[in-house]
Amino acid sequence: MQRLHEELDKLARFSSSEYPSVTRVLYTQNDLEARQYFISLCEDLNLKVRIDPIGNTYARWEGAEPKLAAIGTGSHIDAIPLSGQYDGTVGVFGALEAIRYLKSINFKPKRSIELVLFTAEEPTRFAIGCLGSRMMSGQLKLEQALKLKDKEGNFLNDVRIEAGFKGDLNEVELSKDYYHAFIELHIEQGPRLEKEGLDIGIVSKIAAPSTLRVNLIGEGGHAGAVLMPIRKDAGIAGAEIMIAVERIAKKSNSDDTVGTTGIFDILPRAVNSIPKEAYLEIDLRDTNIETRDKALSDLKQEIAEICEKRNIKYSIEILNCDPPAICDSQLVNTIEKVTNSLGYSSKIMASHAYHDSLFMAQLFPTTMIFIPSKDGVSHRPDEYSSPEQIEKGVKTLALTLKEIDG
């Protein structure tokens, strides 16, 4: 599989940050060039490429009975700022390698096998994750999608057309009978497989994410002249909210609850000026929807209390609040059988991270194949899975596709 590793390394160079860090934001030049590279490899394999109006890219290996629902696999290649080279990409280029492998053993599929490159799994540009799969599954309606703007105020619909993706956005949505099954290969992005020395994780459920935007408005003023008792510092209120996010996630009854404030901006952002405004983006998730929703409502209440105490005006916008996905138990069993036959160790586990499969699972029997992440790290330049680990993931995926077809 030397070729796959060379392809992943080449892909990592389509980046607006310095190698080995990767920054590949939706519809930027690097994103478009990386897509073109992917398409050229698909064409080398004689896959039939179709691109939908939002840029989701389908590469089809036609089966002997093309009228049957296809078997889907795939992931994403966009990357948040200063991240690594395996998140998403292993599920796209690894699936290509799985198809190569199946062709090399002369397998002829009955159902078509279709590889999907999803548009913008990461929320970097439009503050909403899984843009492509959300629209494919009908979870993001057209009227909402048309309202999406990036930080510069550009509408999604304008930038996708500028990037060369044309056509009626209504055509992005898939029908429930489009895929017979969907399997995503992905790095774990956590430490559990590595810690237990396992080769493969088989995903039984995917955490339910929710994202909040919080705007705080207090009163600015001169950092020297406005004495402490009369201040309405929006920055400190934001700091208290950050700490509340952590406390709520930690005190939840579930070990799986995670809460993160990944964005916190203050204005006017001058050392001698009291923060007048603050802006936070908060990510809260759990594999259990009740626990997640309890954490969300606790957080909303704490935000209200902090802002009341500090005389800060606030607004909360829920950017998304998706249900968790339960994976298809038959597919989970199939993968377990495949790993046993290959002599790979495996465990059935939850995915804490959020994937396009979350949305595929709304329509199709779905599951995911995880491979270990070194030190459990992801979204960082030192994100790493070894060639051997990736190879085991690719073989598991290949034989699972074959098994499902058979």
Which segments are annotated as binding site for Zn(2+)?
Answer: 76, 87, 122, 186, 379
Alpha helices in 179-288 (DSSP H): 192-196, 234-251
- Rounded CA-CA distance 77/119 in Å is 8
> What are φ and ψ of residue 377, in 5° steps?
-90, 145
Q: In angstroms, what is the minimal distance from the CB of 162 to a second copy?
A: 23
Beta-strand (E) ranges in 69-223? 70-76, 79-83, 113-118, 179-187, 200-206, 208-217
Binding residues: 76, 87, 122, 186, 379
Instruction: For residue 269, state whether it binds a second copy (rule: CB under 8 A).
Output: yes
Interface residue with a second copy, options 239, 306, 361, 390 (CB under 8 A): 239
Instruction: For residue 152, state whether it binds a second copy (rule: CB under 8 A).
Output: no
Interface residue with a second copy, options 240, 298, 322, 356 (CB under 8 A): 240
Q: In angstroms, what is the minimal distance from the CB of 220 to a second copy?
A: 5
Instruction: For residue 358, state whether it binds a second copy (rule: CB under 8 A).
Output: no
Rg (the chain; Cα; Å) = 22
Interface residue with a second copy, options 1, 49, 68, 242 (CB under 8 A): 242
Interface residue with a second copy, options 31, 52, 114, 256 (CB under 8 A): 256
Interface residue with a second copy, options 275, 324, 365, 372 (CB under 8 A): 275
Q: Which residues pair with 113 in a beta bridge?
A: 61, 71
CB 42 within 8 A of CB 96: yes
Binding to a second copy, residues 162-221 (CB under 8 A) = 188-191, 207, 209, 211, 219-221
Instruction: For residue 322, state whether it binds a second copy (rule: CB under 8 A).
Output: no
- Rounded CA-CA distance 245/240 in Å is 9
Question: Whose Cβ is closer to a second copy: residue 70's or residue 234's?
Answer: 234
* Part of the chain binding a second copy (CB under 8 A), chosen from 77-85, 168-176, 337-345, 359-367: 77-85
Q: What is the residue whose two structure tokens read 């003023």?
A: 221
SS3 percent helix, strand, coil of the chain, rounded to 5, is: 40, 25, 35
| Cα atoms found within 13 Å of the Cα of residue 86, Cβ hemisphere only | 26
Interface residue with a second copy, options 93, 118, 314, 354 (CB under 8 A): 354
Q: In angstroms, what is the minimal distance from the CB of 384 to a second copy?
A: 13
Q: In angstroms, what is the minimal distance from the CB of 11 to a second copy?
A: 19
Question: Whose Cβ is closer to a second copy: residue 55's or residue 259's?
Answer: 259
Instruction: For residue 132, state whether it binds a second copy (rule: CB under 8 A).
Output: no
Question: Whose Cβ is closer to a second copy: residue 292's or residue 392's?
Answer: 292
* Part of the chain binding a second copy (CB under 8 A), chosen from 158-166, 170-178, 301-309, 346-354: 346-354
198-to-77, 202, 287, 333, 389 alpha-carbon distances in Å: 25, 11, 21, 17, 10
Q: In angstroms, what is the minimal distance from the CB of 49 to a second copy?
A: 29
Q: Please provide the DSSP assignment of 15-79 as one string.
A: -SS-TTSEEE-TTSHHHHHHHHHHHHHHHHTTPEEEE-TT--EEEEE--SSTTSPEEEEEEE--E
Q: What is the residue whose two structure tokens read 């429930």?
A: 176
- Rounded CA-CA distance 164/174 in Å is 21
Q: In angstroms, what is the minimal distance from the CB of 362 to a second copy?
A: 18
- Using DSSP bridges, classify how beta strands 70-76 and 113-118 pair: parallel, antiparallel or unpaired: parallel
CB 120 within 8 A of CB 44: no
Q: In angstroms, what is the minimal distance from the CB of 164 to a second copy?
A: 26
Binding to a second copy, residues 285-304 (CB under 8 A) = 285
Interface residue with a second copy, options 283, 322, 356, 405 (CB under 8 A): 283
